[in-house]
Structure 1
């Protein structure tokens, strides 16, 4: 079989929240991401599906949520994506610590994470053989474990910062990485190689970081580049404050079908292609139990709304539009934060 085109990296990450309004307030106002799509869970249309991203919904920037009120509090453990990290410009972490204090965000001390780059690595991971990144861990109102990672942002970076609440020199610029907790990382490591990701060298922490031994894999793109694997025997449960699935970029249908075939040949059981309206998807559970998705780049979030009004109305894709009255009656009323209504704190 011909090897598939390597994945550029993460396309989006989908998580579980509790209160829809609290979720909107935190991700739009506190973190400064743009609500690029207000829709529904297409498998459970009585539940919202919120998409938060950069100004244009660039692939590699979308953090999405299902606010399922009736679920219990979750707990990260083996077989889950336990941490999600975002890129922010170098020098911006002082701003973010001050903002977290102002808004009452639960955060930990920043620390240094060091990545060794093998001499034979072809990944675009680091400049030089040894790379240190500064990490600021924090949690959202549901306890979801998150990180900001300060990185240099190149002039040709594909992300477009949204500056309604946070200035451009501090704005989140898409994903940095996800960390998977696995009882046995080796099969997942081999799968990531099948997906075209390069393994980098040892990853360690300095400055007292609360780190476990981890292995890092790098995709071919500039955003959402990394997947870290950590061995864990912790028992977890899905619920509020946990990741539902991680989606990887397979930009075209041909890329996706080739990757689907490679995943299937590796011994996994991917679904058929499913049309999710803004991208086409294939799902499968990797060897450690984490739910993976393959997602195309098109047609994108502007396929049904103008760029300047993304997220302003409830979008009901395809057949769901005929059920608008029924669906709207099941959804809680929410208000999207606007800059003019931003408060001094929460």
Structure 2
């Protein structure tokens, strides 16, 4: 059975050590994979998620030490939102204050309490408090108590000139449906997805286009159970929307294709398989630097140029 929703979100960051400190220590996410940018192996590719690195929990970064700040604009992800238990919002408001994290006062959005904040590079993030998820398994390897810990993605919001063409991709290809409208937001939900099941489209015609840099989301990846499910999505993109993707690329932990959706946001379709335990046990995820086979011969050089993380 195909489970739809968000597979992962990939963003651009500044210094790697600062990135790890914020997401690993302040937010309490697990570092589930420490590897490199396959196209720029002198740069880390860091993956954060839950205890098992499940699809729908994974936030990844390309941390360039001297990356210039990005500029939010049309054709980009505006906000990445995590799920926490409904009763944990107070804990997180206090924790953000304690760690000097810029944040807004909690607001209600589609009937849910949302606490928006920014990471050290200015990336727009939020926590949404949800009822009924306190019993879900949470990563307990940080100093964030498990009862308050983040439980994967809730949603992303996209800033667009026109919602309709993007909505057509979400509904026809990725299995979402419109469930509500509030102010300038149109909400789409993937039924049956346990995590990352919401995409909000915010129409903001006339804004400047986005400029990628530190704090910017590079792309959003949507789930495909396997190659066959991915192929069906590609068929729908071509037949119904006239969109063709890149060739499939092996990312070791999933297989991916990429395309620009009509609103100019970069979308990826990533397979759930084989997963992050393919090259190291689940209990030791993220501890060792993992390289694809084609880069193993360069390990000594790569390790020499990568910045220290601790």
TM-score by length of 2: 0.95
**2:276 alignment partner in structure 1:** 301
* C-alpha contact (below 8 Å) 2:138/2:150 kept by paired residues: no
**Distance in 2 between residues matched to 1:260 and 1:160, nearest whole Å:** 34
Q: Quick one: distance in 1 between partners of 2:238 and 2:132?
A: 36
Q: 2:123 aligns with which of 120, 131, 144?
A: 144
Query: What residue is the counterpart of 2:207 in the other structure?
Result: 234
- Structure 1 residue 163, shift from structure 2 partner: 4.0
Q: 1:168 deviation in Å?
A: 1.2
Give how far 1:161 is off: 2.9
SS of the residue 2:146 aligns to: coil
Q: CA deviation at 1:155?
A: 7.6
- Give, in whole Å, the separation in 1 of the partners of 2:237 and 2:149: 35
Q: Does the C-alpha gap of structure 1 residues 6 and 216 become closer, same or farther in structure 2, counting only changes over 3 Å?
A: farther
Counterpart selection for 1:13 from 9, 16, 35 = 9
CA contact (8 A) 2:70 2:214 kept: yes
From 26, 37, 49, the equivalent of 1:41 is: 37
SS in 1 for 2:148: coil
Rounded Cα–Cα distance in structure 2 between residues aligned with 1:54 and 1:60: 9
Alignment of 1:204-283 (within 5 A): 204=182, 212-220=183-191, 221-232=193-204, 233-235=206-208, 236-265=210-239, 266-283=241-258
Deviates more, 1:6-15 or 1:236-245: 6-15
**Structure 2 unmatched runs, 5+:** none
How many pairs align?
305
- Following the alignment from structure 2 to structure 1, what is the Cα–Cα distance between the partners of residues 29 and 125? 14
Aligned counterparts of 1:294 and 1:307: Cα–Cα separation in 2: 24
Q: Distance in 1 between matches of 2:2 and 2:78?
A: 24
The CA distance in 2 between the partners of 1:153 and 1:171, in whole Å, is: 14
CA–CA distance in structure 1, aligned partners of residues 37 and 296 of structure 2: 13
- C-alpha separation between the residues in 1 aligned to 2:152 and 2:121? 21
Moved more, 9-18 or 313-322: 313-322
**Matches of 2:36 and 2:126, distance apart in 1:** 27
CA distance in 2 between partners of 1:109 and 1:177 (Å): 19
1:124 alignment counterpart:
none
Structure 1: any 5+ residue segments left out of the alignment? 115-131, 205-211, 336-346
Moved over 6 A (4+): none
- Give the TM-score normalised by the residue count of structure 1: 0.85
2:35 is paired with a residue whose SS is strand
